[in-house]
Amino acid sequence: MTRQIELAGKSGARYRYTSIDEDRFLPPAGANYVIAQVTPEGPHVVYAGETDNLASQNWRTTLDKARETYADAKILTRLNVTRAIREAEREDLIEQYHPPLNQ
């Protein structure tokens, strides 16, 4: 069973993200993603991003960079087709969590 993790943005909106198996086939769909350390106390978001095509794995370079400092970092995704909505959600999460790799 895939674990869902709820993240709250600065606006108070809540977003459900799902951890993924990095080696499995991913849909060629627009998505938001976060790179986070997931602990029993909750996720520590280190990067928030968005992509037009999750299957292109353009997030992989950022994940590799994150793991240089945060070895146990995981990629969490949320399918979201509309670019404007993805960008607004990404900004909402950045304002709330101030991810170090978005600086």
Place 2 in a pLDDT band, splitting at 50, 70 and 90.
Answer: low
pLDDT confidence tier of residue 1, bands split at 50, 70 and 90: very low
Contact 39, 28 (CB under 8 A): no
- Above 90 in pLDDT, residue 73? yes
The Cβ of residue 61 has, within 10 Å, a number of other Cβ atoms equal to 9
pLDDT in tens, 74-87: 999 999 889 999 99
What is the C-alpha end-to-end distance of the chain, expressed in Å? 34
What one-character DSSP code corresponds to residue 2?
Answer: P
51-67: average pLDDT? 93
Q: What is the pLDDT of residue 81?
A: 81
pTM over 0.85: yes
* 16 closest CA partner among 38, 30, 32: 32
Are the beta carbons of 9 and 96 closer than 8 angstroms?
yes
Domains and CATH numbers, the chain: 4-102 (3.40.1440.10)
Mean pLDDT of the chain: 92
pLDDT of residue 76: 95
In which band, very low, low, confident or very high, does the pLDDT at 24 lie, cut at 50, 70 and 90?
confident
